[in-house]
């Protein structure tokens, strides 16, 4: 498992993330390097490592200036590290305020939805989902706990009013919260 963990960590480095973003459409190492302001050799090294990890694939080989140019693309639009790779939190660590619990639930959700989306596409169907996202500010740290308790009670009431024992299709509702990420520029602008 050690080698697998290194591949997953390496494939998620900042440069490799940027390379994967550029490879939503097929491109060569030369093209990606020019877009990112990196050397072709450096990008090519990372492309080979991403290919070993199964995150990119060769889609075309073509002759260019006496050498063979490889055109590659990302094999997936989203890459998620499965909780079992980094170790799922133990039941004692799983509380609604633990970051590891939020990460594990989110990773499981990515996996479940990606698998169902793929199955639906193979069957020529649409996967019906819904998403609700908002930002909220809390004046005091204790407000987070009160908010979570109030939200849980309201959601329980709402679920009880809609839940049907005759339903053939069930939906998993996941509600989580985390601090809004702060950009590097915002950090620099703070006093």
Question: Quick one: pLDDT at residue 124?
Answer: 96
Q: Which residue has the tokens 């094999």?
A: 75
How far, CA to CA in Å, does 67 sit from each of 61, 96, 162?
Answer: 10, 55, 63
| pLDDT of 1 higher than 50 | no
Q: What is the pTM of this model?
A: 0.53
- DSSP secondary structure of 128-190: -----------SSHHHHHHHHHHHHHHHHHHHHHH--TT-SS---------PPP--HHHHHH-
More confident residue, 95 or 165: 165
- pLDDT bracket for residue 94 (50, 70, 90): low
Edge-to-edge strand list for the sheet holding 67-74: 27-28, 67-74, 56-64
- Please report which confidence band the pLDDT of residue 7 belongs to, taking 50, 70 and 90 as the band edges: very low
Is residue 75 very low, low, confident or very high in pLDDT (cuts 50, 70, 90)?
confident
**How far, in Å, CA of 72 to CA of 55, rounded?**
10
- The string of pLDDT tens digits covering residues 10-30 is 446 788 888 988 998 899 999
Per-residue pLDDT tens for 37-63?
999 999 999 999 888 888 889 999 998
Residue in this structure with the two tokens 């959700």, named with its chain if needed: 109
Model confidence pLDDT, tens digit, residues 103-158: 778 878 887 888 898 899 999 999 999 999 999 999 999 999 999 999 999 999 99
| Stretch (H or E) spanning 116 | helix 99-122
Q: Give the model's pLDDT for residue 90.
A: 55
Environment class of 33 (CB within 10 Å of its CB; exposed 0-12, middle 13-18, buried 19+) = buried
At 96 the pLDDT is 61
Residue 97 neighbours by CB under 8 Å, 6+ apart: 144, 145, 148
**pLDDT value for 87:** 53
- pLDDT, tens digit, 9 for 90 and up, residues 166-184: 999 899 999 999 898 877 6
CA dist 117 and 125 (Å) reads: 9
Tokens describing residue 116: 């169902």
């Amino acid at each position: 498992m050690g080698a697998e963990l290194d591949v997953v960590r390496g494939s998620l480095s900042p440069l490799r993330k940027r390379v994967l973003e550029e490879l939503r459409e097929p491109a060569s190492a030369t093209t990606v390097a020019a877009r990112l302001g990196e050397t072709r050799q450096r990008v090519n090294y990372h492309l080979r490592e991403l290919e070993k990890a199964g995150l990119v694939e060769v889609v075309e080989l073509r002759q260019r200036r006496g050498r063979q140019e490889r055109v590659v693309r990302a094999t997936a639009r989203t890459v998620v590290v499965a909780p079992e790779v980094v170790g799922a939190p133990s039941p004692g660590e799983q509380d609604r305020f633990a970051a590891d619990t939020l990460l594990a639930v989110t990773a499981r959700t990515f996996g479940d939805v990606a698998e169902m989306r793929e199955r639906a596409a193979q069957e020529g169907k649409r996967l019906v989902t819904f998403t609700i996202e908002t930002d909220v500010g809390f004046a005091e740290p204790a407000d987070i706990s009160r908010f979570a308790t109030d939200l849980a009670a309201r959601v329980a009431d709402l679920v009880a009013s809609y839940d049907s024992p005759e339903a053939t299709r069930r939906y998993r509702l996941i509600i989580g919260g985390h601090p809004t990420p702060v950009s590097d520029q915002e950090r620099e602008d703070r006093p």
